[in-house]
């Protein structure tokens, strides 16, 4: 089966994300666009994933519980879990590794934890766009050891990417690779190349969704689909 997927999106928890982009609005917008597999991947934090899980359930989406980790090299990596609880544990681990630098909301933006209704139920004090204390290699290894999907994010971006910050994409067992523009002028070691919306505003949701052939609409099916790599970037 061919599914529309979008594995890179933020919410109002990310300081650079719009305060209006709640997990519920993200999910509803994705559903309206026919996206079937959707991930929420806030910067270095998973605390909006419980609301996202409820929203995906209501919208009949297959949700992936994710985080966009900022490594010590300042490279962004998506780590995506099948189970909410596993993602929450990994999120606590990453948040703990963030330096004691605190957010200045009027400078960087709010870091709001919200419920399904979009009501603010808390805020995160540590600045979530800081560089965490985990290396690129270690986040790949740690994610895979926890049975997550690991995807270097926007490798062709001119900042916070493997190509910009490392100069190349190391040959590691990624689940897939994400770029903004395809094809990408880099050796991606035969991995499947995805595009993701990296939505920070409601109007960005779905802007770079892509289509993947998978055997079943399950986490295992998604893994198999990523391994066989039948992807298209426009509706076939
Ligand atoms: Zn990023
Ligand atoms: Zn992002």
Average pLDDT, the chain: 98
**Inter-residue contact 139 to 165 (CB < 8 Å):** no
pLDDT of residue 223: 98
CA–centroid distance, residue 197 to ligand 2 (Å): 8
Q: Residues whose CB is under 5 A from ligand 2 (ion)?
A: 68, 198
In terms of residue numbers, what domain contains 180?
A: 2-232
pLDDT digits (tens, 9 = 90+) for 15-42: 999 999 999 999 999 999 999 999 999 9
pLDDT of residue 116: 98
CA–centroid distance, residue 68 to ligand 2 (Å): 6
Ligand nearest to C-alpha 199 = 2
- Closest C-alpha among 235, 188, 193 to residue 211: 235
- Closest C-alpha among 104, 79, 84 to residue 94: 79
CATH code: domain of residue 91: 3.20.20.140
CA–centroid distance, residue 14 to ligand 2 (Å): 9
Ligand nearest to C-alpha 160 = 1
Cα 24 to chain center, whole Å?
A: 16
Mean pLDDT calculated for residue range 172-185: 97
pLDDT digits (tens, 9 = 90+) for 62-114: 999 999 999 999 999 999 999 999 999 999 999 999 999 999 999 999 999 99
pLDDT of residue 155: 98
pLDDT of residue 182: 97
pLDDT of residue 189: 98
pLDDT digits (tens, 9 = 90+) for 122-150: 999 999 999 999 999 999 999 999 999 99
Residue 235 scores a pLDDT above 90? no
> What domain count does the chain have?
1
Ligand nearest to C-alpha 66 = 2
Residue 236 scores a pLDDT above 90? no
């Amino acid at each position: 089966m061919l599914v529309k997927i979008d594995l890179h999106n933020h919410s109002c928890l990310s300081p650079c994300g719009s305060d209006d982009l709640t997990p519920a609005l993200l999910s509803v917008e994705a559903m309206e666009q026919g996206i079937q597999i959707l991930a929420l991947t806030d910067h270095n934090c998973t605390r909006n994933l419980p609301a996202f899980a409820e929203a995906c359930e209501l919208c009949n989406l297959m949700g992936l519980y994710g985080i966009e980790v900022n490594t010590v090299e300042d490279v962004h990596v998506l780590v995506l879990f099948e189970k909410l609880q596993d993602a929450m544990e990994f999120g606590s681990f990453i948040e703990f590794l963030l330096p004691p630098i605190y957010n200045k909301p009027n400078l960087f933006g709010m870091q709001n934890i919200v419920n399904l209704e979009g009501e603010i139920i808390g805020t995160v004090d540590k600045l979530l766009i800081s560089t965490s204390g985990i290396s690129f290699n270690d986040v790949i290894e740690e994610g895979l050891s926890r049975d997550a999907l690991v995807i270097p994010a926007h490798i062709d971006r001119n900042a916070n990417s493997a190509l910009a910050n490392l100069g190349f994409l190391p040959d590691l067992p990624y689940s897939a690779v994400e770029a903004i523009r395809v094809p990408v002028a880099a050796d991606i070691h035969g991995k499947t190349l995805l595009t993701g919306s990296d939505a920070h505003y409601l109007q960005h949701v779905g802007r770079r969704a892509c289509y993947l052939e998978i055997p079943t609409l399950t986490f295992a099916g998604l893994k198999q689909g990523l391994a066989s790599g039948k992807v298209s970037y426009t509706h076939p």
